[in-house]
């Protein structure tokens, strides 16, 4: 593959400690039509143009020393399959990062699709399933609801690595902007 696509990105957190194992860059894709009641990221739903990045330029710009992986969330990452694939390839091959992808699609459905299977080859852990507000995850596991499943597609991690130190992370930027992330919300 020798062409690059542009990913429509809602937002990026260069260093998060709560979106998977260790310190991770988190990329939120824009666009999702699942409309899960109680979704933590409703601003990511609209299929509108946000910020466009080529996968390599995105990681190059936001990579920080000491991070061990990339987490992709949204929005629905699999609606931008070519960009997702290139992002994961660059993360793994150019930066040696582990890869975690959150999706509303089931693993079985993705596995039945050749383009999605190509993406799964570059995914260490897939967390699948829509958010179900009636089954909110009560523990520190890094998922929104208990129906969501961890699929360990390489031997890099186990479920124990997804037990976080908290459910909410508040990140204060140098300009005072506060970003909230994680698997619960401050009302
Ligand atoms: S699939 Fe994810 S981003 Fe989309 S509505 Fe459901 S929880 Fe929100």
Phi, psi of 106 (to 5 degrees): -80, 155
pLDDT of res. 174 = 84
Q: How many helices (H) and strands (E) does the chain have?
A: 5, 9
pLDDT of res. 1 = 53
Whether 69 lines ligand 1, by a CB cut-off of 6 Å, is no
pLDDT of res. 68 = 98
Structure tokens at 117: 């299977």
Phi, psi of 39 (to 5 degrees): -50, 135
Mean pLDDT per 10-residue interval, the chain, length 187 residues: 83 96 98 94 96 97 97 97 98 98 98 98 98 96 97 98 94 88 78
List the residue whose alpha carbon is closest to atom 8 of ligand 1.
39
134/152 Cα distance (integer angstroms): 25
185/168 Cα distance (integer angstroms): 7
Structure tokens at 177: 């902007």
pLDDT of res. 185 = 72
Whether 10 lines ligand 1, by a CB cut-off of 6 Å, is no
List the residue whose alpha carbon is closest to atom 6 of ligand 1.
36
pLDDT of res. 168 = 92
pLDDT of res. 187 = 57
Alpha helices in 44-156 (DSSP H): 55-62, 81-89, 95, 107-111, 114-120
Strand-pairing partners, residue 178, are 172
Contact 81, 110 (CB under 8 A): no
């Amino acid at each position: 593959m020798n062409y690059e696509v542009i990913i429509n990105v809602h937002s990026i957190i260069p260093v998060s400690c709560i979106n998977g194992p260790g310190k991770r860059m988190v990329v939120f894709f824009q666009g999702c039509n699942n409309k899960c009641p109680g979704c933590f990221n409703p601003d990511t739903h609209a299929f509108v143009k946000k910020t466009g990045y080529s996968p390599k330029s995105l990681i190059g710009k936001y990579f920080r020393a000491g991070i061990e992986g990339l987490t992709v969330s949204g929005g629905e990452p699999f609606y931008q399959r070519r960009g997702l694939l290139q992002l994961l390839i660059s993360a793994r091959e150019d930066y040696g990062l582990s890869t975690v992808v959150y999706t509303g699609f089931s693993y079985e459905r993705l596995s039945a699709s050749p383009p999605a299977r190509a993406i799964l080859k570059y995914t260490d852990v897939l967390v699948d399933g829509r958010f179900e507000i009636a089954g909110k995850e009560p523990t520190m596991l890094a998922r929104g609801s208990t129906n969501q499943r961890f699929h360990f597609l390489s031997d890099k991690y186990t479920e124990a690595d997804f037990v976080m130190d908290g459910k909410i992370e508040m990140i204060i930027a140098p300009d005072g902007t506060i970003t909230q992330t994680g698997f619960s919300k401050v009302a």
